[in-house]
Amino acid sequence: MRVADFFCGGGGFSEGFRQAGFEIVFAVDKWAPAVNTYKGNKPGANVIQDDVIRISNLPDDEFEALVPDSEVIIGSPPCQSFSHSNKSGNADKELGIKLIEAYLKIVARKKYKQGSVLRYWVLENVPAVKDYIKDEYTAADFGLDGDFVLRPKDGASGKYNAKYYGAPTNRERYLCGEFPRPVATKTDNNITTLRQVLNSLGDPLRADNGPITDINYPDFTLEAQQVTDQHYIYELAAFECKTAKRLKQDKGYMGKMSFPENLDKPARTVMATMTASAREAMILGYGEGRYRLPTVREAACMMSFPIDYWFYGESKGVKHTLVGNAVPPKLSYAVAVAIATAANEPIPAEYIPIQHAPDDEQLHFVNLNGAEFEIREEQPKRETSKFKYHIPYLIIDAYRVELTNYRSDFKNGKYKWETEIHYSQGKDKARVYNPNITMRVIPPQHKNRVQNYIEQAKKAVPNMNAFQTVFCMTTEARGQQNYYGPYELLESVKAFIETIFTPEEQKEYVRFGDEPTKLPLAIATGYLILKRVVTHMGRLQ
């Protein structure tokens, strides 16, 4: 059976169909590295670099001349605007909807034309996209003639997690269209873990040429040095690790994430940007107290790409984007097998190795094996950088004490530092408080120590503008100052609170007159300290 692939990316969606014995006859994507990767791994397919929206609107004769007939159409419109990780799910959806409707229009043009051979079609995207796909589209919705109605959500449409179809990643996706329901091949009792992926590939710096058996395709083996984009290390600097750990384990009211990664579960969703400075960063241990990012090959194996799949990018970043934006081949293979079974088509019994296209100027393959990456040096922040963070690892009953410079006059270089009490999150629950808390809330036996600490802290901070200057310095430069920056001040307050109050005392509520009228003792104390220190900084201006 023939397959046409729209928004084809680097070919993950069609790779599962290739393995299931389908013929890939057409593919299109706007991004050159994706097109080159597709060509390099599927040299028999007609792959073009073009705009799917443009193609969807071509006149009939041009459309039919460009897009061949096929029994199957697959497509994965770019999903960034629908992802919950993009602006917390509040990104503009307009372009994403246009891309989806362009794909659906192409499906409709092929499905409802005279003499159509199209039997199955599948759209893949993040789960949140379901709310932006209508239950039905008429011909008029697409600007087409006819009285047909396309119903994308019928049949087997729904959410599917790639880990239950053999991919070693906890990657949930929404599939809709016309296709038989794929059969899960894994359960929670036998899913492939991140540890198994890493063990199968071995130490990235291994010098031997022993065999590597593909964790996802056990009947396929390559010599170690034949496995591309694997034999290098990208080690993280100490400041990157500290930032990543804070984002993962102390990010407001969000749940804690493992640092480093939990190896005994499938990999978390592989991101298109392999960065260390984000909550979603995927960080692996690398010896005692050292950490690294996954190699491109490790990430590709997490996504269930076979170890002979090559990613045609000039840089590590481009290769990671090719991997992270893909549909896991194991998930698409399950869909392909379901279609082949329903159509009584034969399915290959073993993995079919990839026949790569010949290397030429356009498809020149850059192998990261042996590449050396220097550990990043921390750079000073921009003078106008913003700060908003709470006393670290101190959140009690959804309350936290934040220090921020958000209300500064950044344009004129006049910086204002403030402290606030934040409660919960979300539009309905979130609250911000600025109560008048006095030493009366402090238990008598602790008052002198709290007062003495406040006086010491006042001596350790400069005026507000200088405080901003210290904040913008590198970690090393801040360590050479006589003054605290905001991170150091918050860490000092946290250490002091832990010194004077037991864990049980920290959670005990104290009452006062202003809203919210009562707070956990540690929260009230932290706010009192920071309020007085910040007020002191303002008087120094």
Q: How far apart are CA 145 and CA 513, in angstroms?
A: 70
Helix axes 486-500, 444-459, angle to 10 degrees: 160
- Taking alpha carbons only, the member of 457, 459, 462, 485 closest to residue 472 is 485
Q: Reduce the secondary structure of 340-378 to three states and give it as a string.
A: HHHCCCCCCCCCCCCCCCCCCCCCCCCCCCCCCCCCCCC
What is the dihedral angle through the alpha carbons of 202, 207, 209, 210, rounded to the nearest 10 degrees?
-40
Whether residue 540 contacts residue 459, with contact meaning beta carbons closer than 8 Å, is answered with no
Q: How far apart are CA 411 and CA 422, in angstroms?
A: 27
Segment holding 322, helix H or strand E: helix 316-324
301 counts as catalytic: no
- Taking alpha carbons only, the member of 156, 176, 163 closest to residue 104 is 176
How remote is the C-alpha of 3 from its chain's centroid? 29
Q: How many CA atoms lie within 13 A of 311 on its CB side?
A: 33
State which amino acid sits at residue 532: R
- Taking phi first (over 0 means left), then psi (-120 to 50 degrees means alpha), and beta for anything else, what does residue 347 get? beta
Neighbours of 256 (CB within 10 A): 10
Q: How far apart are CA 350 and CA 274, in angstroms?
A: 32
185, with CB counted inside 10 A (0-12, 13-18, 19+), is middle
Active-site residue identified among 79, 176, 241, 301? 79
Rg for the chain, CA atoms, rounded: 28
- Kindly write down the DSSP assignment for every residue of 259-315, as one continuous string: SS--TTSPBPPPPSS--SSSTT---EE-STT-EEEPPHHHHHHHTT--TT-----SS
- Taking alpha carbons only, the member of 299, 258, 260 closest to residue 283 is 260
**Residues marked as catalytic:** 79
